[in-house]
């Protein structure tokens, strides 16, 4: 089944202890759709300026991504600049240029409106609601958000959360949104806001899935080098939703597998800048890493076995 991805297409400039990259391909939709393309057929909705290279769009098409919903308008593409020093789980933003994103209105092409699986990237909750209002036959609508919207657009965000099935956010955002300091009680509070499923991302410590029936904690693969964490959360979400769309099921077993798939995909993104690792990634690499997760979490079920 297909996956609709709504988010940003951007140029990123990033500095980490392992180097820097200037004006490289970034944006939530780029990471989400590329990650999901290993499992399903994504459809992108986003906006770019006249400066956005055709080679980036060609790359998406080569990955089987439908770019009909990418609007190209007069002006410059959204740009973000940031750095990571010390805490690699948190970026310090140096500059944000909204450019064409400032007037972006995500109007869906007609053949996108009945896409069964949807992920709304980290954009204004009013725009997320605008997308939701155009959908006609969905099986799962997921979204992301961040502190900026939680603090500055809370009323609009709460309306969006009433309409989504799954929310994917990091632990700090979960605490801010819920007003709870404990992750478990934070997830419970967020589920009361609307989402049936809450996924809390914890960077190098993995992710936790909360549903009505259960809780599932997935580790992150221990890596010797994390070069650039930018886009890791979006890559995680793309892998997760891409797998759910591939399986065309949303049950406890499939959700747990999807969390591991998302963690698998994110483990590749952080090993290089931009989408460099995803551009050369093979299905055999994904399978090998997935098996590493299996080995990482296997243990003897009989507590007193000798």
Q: What is the pLDDT of residues 254-285, one digit of tens each?
A: 999 999 999 999 999 999 999 999 999 999 99
pLDDT of residue 183: 95
Dihedral, CA of residue 31, residue 35, residue 40 and residue 45, to nearest 10: 0
Residue (of 166, 183, 165) closest to 174 by Cα position? 183
**Banded pLDDT at 109 (limits 50, 70, 90):** very high
Grouping H, G, I as helix, E, B as strand and the rest as coil, residue 91 is coil
Give the fold, CATH level 3, of 3-297: 3.40.1190
CB atoms within 10 A of CB 18: 14
pLDDT of residue 306: 60
From edge to edge, which strands make up the β-sheet containing 166-170? 66-72, 42-48, 3-6, 117-120, 140-144, 166-170, 197-201, 207-210, 215-218
Query: What's the average model confidence in pLDDT over 276-302?
Result: 90
**Banded pLDDT at 87 (limits 50, 70, 90):** confident
Domain ranges of the chain: 3-297
- The residue ranking higher by pLDDT, 301 or 176, is 176
The pTM (predicted TM-score) of the whole model is 0.95
**Banded pLDDT at 305 (limits 50, 70, 90):** low
Task: Say which range, 98-112, 167-181, 291-305, has the weakest mean pLDDT.
Answer: 291-305
CB-CB contact of 177 with 167 (8 Å):
no
Q: What is the pLDDT of residues 28-75, one digit of tens each?
A: 999 999 999 999 999 999 999 999 999 999 999 999 999 999 999 999
State the residue for tokens 């605490």: 175
Q: Angle, to 10 degrees, between the axis of helix 232-247 and the axis of helix 28-36? A: 40
Q: Angle, to 10 degrees, between the axis of helix 252-269 and the axis of helix 283-297? A: 120
Helices (H), the chain: 28-36, 54-62, 125-132, 147-152, 154-161, 171-178, 183-191, 232-247, 252-269, 276-280, 283-297
pLDDT of residue 207: 95
Q: What is the pLDDT of residues 181-237, one digit of tens each?
A: 999 999 999 999 999 999 999 988 899 999 998 999 998 888 888 899 999 999 999
Grouping H, G, I as helix, E, B as strand and the rest as coil, residue 135 is coil
């Amino acid at each position: 089944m297909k996956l609709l991805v709504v988010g940003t297409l951007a140029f990123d400039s990033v500095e980490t202890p392992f180097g820097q990259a200037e004006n490289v391909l970034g944006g939530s939709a780029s990471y989400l759709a590329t990650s999901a393309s290993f499992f399903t057929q994504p459809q992108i909705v986003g906006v770019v300026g006249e400066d956005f290279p055709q080679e980036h769009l060609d790359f998406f098409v080569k990955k089987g991504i439908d770019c009909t919903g990418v609007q190209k308008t007069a002006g410059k593409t959204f740009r973000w600049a940031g750095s990571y020093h010390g805490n690699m789980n948190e970026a310090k933003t140096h500059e944000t240029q909204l450019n064409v994103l400032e007037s972006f209105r995500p109007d869906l092409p007609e053949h996108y409106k009945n896409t069964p699986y949807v992920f709304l990237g980290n954009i204004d909750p009013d725009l997320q609601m605008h997308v939701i209002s155009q959908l006609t036959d969905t099986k799962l609508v997921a979204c992301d958000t961040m502190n900026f919207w939680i603090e500055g657009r809370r009323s609009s965000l709460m309306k969006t959360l009433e309409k989504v099935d799954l929310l994917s956010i990091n632990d700090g955002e979960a605490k801010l949104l819920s007003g709870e300091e404990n992750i478990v009680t934070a997830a419970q509070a967020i589920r009361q806001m609307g989402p049936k499923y809450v996924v809390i991302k914890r960077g190098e410590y993995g992710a936790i899935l909360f549903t009505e029936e259960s809780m599932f904690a997935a580790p992150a693969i221990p890596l010797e080098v994390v070069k650039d964490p930018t886009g890791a959360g979006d890559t995680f979400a793309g892998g997760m939703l891409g797998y759910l769309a591939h399986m065309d099921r949303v049950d406890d077993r499939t959700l747990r597998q999807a969390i591991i798939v998302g963690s698998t995909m994110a483990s590749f993104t952080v090993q290089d800048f931009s989408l460099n690792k995803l551009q050369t990634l093979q299905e055999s690499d994904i399978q090998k890493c997935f098996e590493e997760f299996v080995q990482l979490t296997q243990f003897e079920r009989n507590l007193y076995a000798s």
